[in-house]
Chain A
Amino acid sequence: MAFSYEGEQPRQAALFFLLYFSMTGLHAVHLLIGLGLVMVVMIFAWRGRYSGDHYTPVELTGLYWHFVDVIWVFLFPLLYLIGRH
């Protein structure tokens, strides 16, 4: 990947943006997978596929979605807030 930054400390900027784009990019992939899973579970739930005896897919999809969620909880301050003042 070609990266050029004309300002101060171009090497440090390159390192930051390599991490920035790989972390947000991987997170975006996780989000797309999560959105797909939630949509499938939502459609199945509408069709009455789940009940009090059968709800493991709902539980596991929720677990996956919130795992992705927790990652953003840490990525957001690390990428956008630290050093802002």
Chain B
Amino acid sequence: MHDHVTPKRTYLVIGTALLMLTLITYQIAFINLGPWSTVVALGIATSKALLIVLFFMHARYSSGLTWLVIVAAVAWLALLVAGTMDDFVTRSWLRP
């Protein structure tokens, strides 16, 4: 644990930014961007998750060891997602 005390203002600013991003992603969902709709929606979600992890979960103020755990966990999740997606992407190859 660490002794960093985050000022209230930081939480208000990040919280407002998260609400704004939610509004933006909701509005963009009504625009047809083809396959880019998914990319944009998940891109905004990733940036929101980054804000939450960095500020609300205090990763920004954490040690290198904590960062190693975060990076390892995300890398493992990426492996699992890739394992699911390679099935989804290559399934049509079986049907001639």
Contact = CB atoms under 8 A, between A and B. Distances in A.
Interface residues of A, number: 20
Interface residues of B, number: 23
Contacts, number: 54
A70 B46 CA distance: 9
Q: Specify which of A55, A73, A83 lies most central, judged by the most chain B CB atoms within 10 Å of its CB.
A: A73
A76 B25 CA distance: 10
Interface of A: 52, 55-56, 59, 62-63, 66-67, 69-70, 73-74, 76-78, 81-85
A81 B29 contact: yes
Chain B at the A interface: SS class? helix
Nearest to B32: A85
19 contacts: A52-B3, A55-B1, A59-B1, A62-B56, A62-B58, A63-B58, A69-B56, A73-B45, A73-B49, A73-B52, A74-B42, A76-B22, A77-B41, A78-B41, A81-B41, A83-B37, A84-B29, A85-B30, A85-B33
Contacts of A70: 49, 52-53
A78 B37 CA distance: 11
B26 interface: yes
In the A-B complex, list the 3 residue pairs whose CB atoms are closest, starting with the nearest: A81-B29, A77-B41, A85-B32
A66 B56 contact: yes
A63 B57 contact: yes
Given A66-B52, A85-B29, A85-B30, 20 more contacts: A55-B1, A59-B1, A63-B58, A69-B52, A70-B53, A73-B45, A74-B45, A76-B22, A76-B45, A77-B25, A77-B29, A77-B42, A77-B45, A78-B41, A78-B42, A81-B26, A82-B29, A84-B29, A85-B31, A85-B33
